[in-house]
Amino acid sequence: MKIILDTHIFLWAVAMPERLTKRQKEIIQRRSNQIFVSSVTITEIMIKASIGKIIIEFDPVKVAQESGFDLLEYSCEDAMKLNELPMHHKDPFDRMLIAQAMERGFYIMSVDDCFKRYDCKLIR
């Protein structure tokens, strides 16, 4: 499976793995799965850090790579999918991740209940 991690799942995986469920950990660690950290997630983390909403004391790109995650660029085609998404969720970063997963046919791992309202392949 190709799986995009929602921002909170990525942060939990690298900084607070105890917050992940046993199932989430197993899926992330399964070698047959390809786990992605989107450029959208890096953008969200850096914006929130720059305005003081979160404190990040590590380089998220470097940590993602060291953790064995693949980096995934957000494309124009991913952005075009946003036009088709209903406004179930107002968070622009989450909408971008949902659109990216749907456009590419990837799964997305999140515990955000709003994701269930979209026609995406969700792993909770």
Beta bridge partners of 107: 3, 121
- Residue 69 tokens, joined: 């995650």
The arithmetic mean of pLDDT across residues 11-24, rounded, is: 97
How do residues 57-113 score in pLDDT, each as one tens digit? Answer: 999 999 999 999 999 999 999 999 999 999 888 899 999 999 999 999 999 999 999
Q: Using DSSP bridges, classify how beta strands 2-5 and 70-72 pair: parallel, antiparallel or unpaired.
A: unpaired
The arithmetic mean of pLDDT across residues 31-45, rounded, is: 98
In whole angstroms, give the CA distance from residue 46 to residue 35.
20
Polymer length of the chain: 124
Q: Which residues span the domain enclosing 118?
A: 2-123
CATH of the domain at 8: 3.40.50.1010
**Residue 89: its pLDDT value, please?**
81
Number of domains in the chain: 1
> What is the pTM assigned to this prediction?
0.95
CB contact set of 61 (below 8 Å; sequence gap of 6+): 42, 71
**Residue 105: its pLDDT value, please?**
98
**Residue 57: its pLDDT value, please?**
93
Q: Place 49 in a pLDDT band, splitting at 50, 70 and 90.
A: very high
Beta strands, E only, the chain:
2-5, 34-38, 70-72, 107-109, 121-123
